[in-house]
A and B are shown apart, each in its own frame.
Chain A
Amino acid sequence: MTAAPRVALFATCFNDTMWPDTPRATVSLLERLGVTVEFPMAQTCCGQMFTNTGYVDEAVPLVRAFVDVFGSYDAVVAPSGSCTGSVREQHQWIAERSGDSGLAREVEQLTPRVHELSEYLVDVLGVVDVGAYFPHRVTYHPTCHSLRMLRVGDRPQQLLRAVRGIDLVELPSATECCGFGGTFAMKNADISVAMGSDKARHIRETGAEVVVAGDNSCLAHIGGLLDRQRAGVRSLHLAQILASTEEDPA
């Protein structure tokens, strides 16, 4: 008999601080699936906001800290496509750019063990039906970094389709960016809102009660627009729907 899988949860700073329900749901989902979850307290941030705004020097200490905190784990799981993308696709470059070849080597060894939640469930645990129950009309927005950086493909939809009671409806123009884009949402606010408004319109067209995605950053933007429009559509992270049960609904 093999030992229970053990993972380190990388909650991400944004979830930890602003959307604690998502990492909490990730913990309860993974524990329900028999995974031992650890949360290394020293973790903070992957540095994506700094990197993508051009403050790469400011991201270097965060890459260092990430390696120090998570380096000893066999698997790291994050409920965020874009933060996982930042770790897997940018940390190496940041380390090399800083001239620290030791750090670059450590990053290279660690990053293949860092998984986005849907990747971990489908590829590592090999489960699609996670025993969730969510009797609502739901539409899924694939976030850009999960789709085009991590290439998670239809893993999230596979997981959602297996949820009991769910009415999963297709989102028109689903693969188009919602317009969040990190500091883009502030620096080019007009265009960001124009993109988000089209996304919100497509979501409303589906008649869904809930829009689900794998990134709370994008959902804060989409949900912020829907909320302003009093659209009556909730935004929920994928982890929360997958953690939802009859006894403990999301």
Chain B
Amino acid sequence: MKKAARSTAPERNPVGITTPTYLGMPKFPKLAAPELRNPVLRHNLQMATHTIRDKRAQVVGEVDDWEALRVDGARSKDAALNNLDEHLEELERNLQKAGATVHWARDAEEACSIVVELVQESLGAPAKYSEERSGGETSWGGGEVVKVKSMATQEIELNEALEAAGISAWETDLAELIVQLGHDRPSHILVPAIHRNRSQIREIFDREMGKVGRPAPDGMTDEPAQLAEAARQHLREKFLRARVAISGANFAVADTGTLVVLESEGNGRMCLTLPETLISVVGIEKVVPTWDDLGTFMQLLPRSSTGERMNPYTTMWTGATPDDGPQDVHVVLLDNGRTRVLEDELGRQALRCIRCSACLNVCPVYERAGGHAYGSVYPGPIGAVLTPQLRGTASPIDESLPYASSLCGACFDACPVRIDIPRMLVELRSQVVDQHRGGVPSAEAAGMRAASWVFGNHKRLEGVQAGAAAASRLFGKRTSISQLPWPASAWTQARNAPTPPKESFRSWWRRTHEEPRS
């Protein structure tokens, strides 16, 4: 059976071919190095994070008892997580009652194949996804979907899976569009193109829009209003044409079966209301028990994410409404490592995350390293704890992530659901160290063991101090050293090191406070 997708067949999605996967990436410090050396990126990130940081501080300061709200948010997420199975079943029942179809996906692959099959069915494709994947030739001309910004679909690399099945997935969030057109990867949870400035965006729009739809207008400048207008015109034809939309959800209310999306541009509202079919991929941790819980998060999320009292667009839908909006409504509930995170009593906190990005915006490491260095769709402090929990710590990038922090604690203070990220980072570091125990110890491990032995007894420490005092004589009057051999060269590349003192404190104490004075 042949069925042409459309008379106006969409162009190929530019992303699937060029977006690399995250596997096999080098360690965080290596990934961060080129980002650090890029002055434009450093400037873009510093400007952007500090602007959002200041806005957030202002609107958080307006709330009478922000701390109580944080406690409330954490409590209601914990209530959901501690009885997740019950709330999920309740959610499923209420979704079904409201006319939605619920699908369960254990991992990324399952979720992708469910979504691809649903899209193919909706668009009247002749072959199932599985047959496509096995290499079977198909005469289907391909199809398209419009997408609401969604972290879950990025996590499972859904766009790439759709692309492989001949379906173009158009990102409609402005920043996601910039990333997609730029053959780029997102570098921030909320502001995925935070690493781009407006002149770079103008250049991307000018070069790429025409290849996949309506081109940018001639003579477009880098004025934000002109750039937004170009995006609006470019996206409009896709909104009006698309028959299927794919979204995530910020919240899934168990006791009503309602999904909730918060956004700023109205692109979400277009996607969630215009197409015939709506498929939402929702991480199982997005469940909140009751409609009342939502009130807390509606106060916490906009203030923590965009620094606004209220976000411009909030769309809530409960299954399908006859003759109004999408009639074919699907919800794919995604595990993909979440139940494993749930098993860990401390690590479980990470599932409270409402993807607000407040921790990214206050993080001094993120500000300098940029989002790409984190090797995952979840960058910044929350990524440094969430990614190693979701994916494990087997790969070099994943085991380096818990160390991508100075443990300054700014992330915990900013987190609207009180995730103790510094504490979790330390716990994850201990898991990384412990997984290497038993084999030949690294230089670091051997050094740590030796140091622990020295500190295990004060006499041994005094021996080291006597050695340091002897060494101090070699330096004469010098108080600092500018060059040290490896591995201390990592310190002296830009910092002088102190020379050891002539006398340790305890020697002085013994001399002045313990020996009998004549």
Contact = CB atoms under 8 A, between A and B. Distances in A.
A7 to B, nearest CB: 14
Interface string A89-102: 01001000100000
Given A61-B456, A145-B409, A227-B496, A187 B505 contact: no
A188 B32 contact: yes
B517 interface: no
B426 A52 contact: yes
Interface residues of A, number: 70
Contacts of B369: 191
Interface string B444-472: 11001101100111100100110010000
Interface stretch (A19-27, A156-164, A206-214): A19-27
A44 B455 contact: yes
Interface in A28-76: 39, 41-45, 47, 49-59, 61-62, 65
Contact of B465 (A17, A65, A192): A17
A233 interface: no
A191 B32 contact: yes
A24 to B, nearest CB: 6
A152 interface: no
Contact of A195 (B406, B455, B482, B500): B406
A148 B410 contact: yes
B206 to A, nearest CB: 33
Contact of B482 (A90, A93, A228): A228
Contacts of A185: 490-491
Contacts of A189: 29, 490-491, 493-494
Contact of B406 (A23, A43, A184): A184
B495 A228 contact: yes
B409 A144 contact: yes
Nearest to B500: A18
Interface residues of chain B: helix, strand, loop or mixed (majority): helix
Contacts of B509: 27, 39
Contact of B364 (A18, A52, A176, A227): A176
B260 interface: no
A41 B458 contact: yes
B490 A24 contact: no
A190 B456 contact: no
Contacts of B434: 54, 57
Nearest to B363: A177
Contact of B504 (A17, A97, A195): A17
A166 interface: no
A181 B493 contact: no
Contact of B496 (A52, A147, A228): A228
Contacts of B508: 20, 24
Contacts of A221: 495
A205 to B, nearest CB: 16
A65 B490 CA distance: 31
A170 interface: no
A191 B482 contact: no
A180 B490 CA distance: 12
Contacts of A249: none
Contact of A16 (B404, B409, B445, B465): B465
Contacts of B412: 148
Contacts of A193: 493-495
Contact of A55 (B428, B433, B500): B433
A188 B404 contact: yes
Nearest to A82: B407
A47 B451 CA distance: 10
Contact of B501 (A19, A42, A191): A19
Interface of A: 11, 13, 15-21, 23-24, 27, 39, 41-45, 47, 49-59, 61-62, 65, 90, 93, 97, 144-145, 147-149, 175-177, 179-197, 220-221, 223-225, 227-228
13 contacts: A16-B465, A17-B505, A50-B448, A56-B433, A58-B451, A148-B409, A148-B413, A181-B406, A187-B403, A188-B404, A190-B32, A193-B494, A194-B36
Closest CB pairs A-B (n = 4)? A181-B406, A54-B429, A224-B495, A148-B409
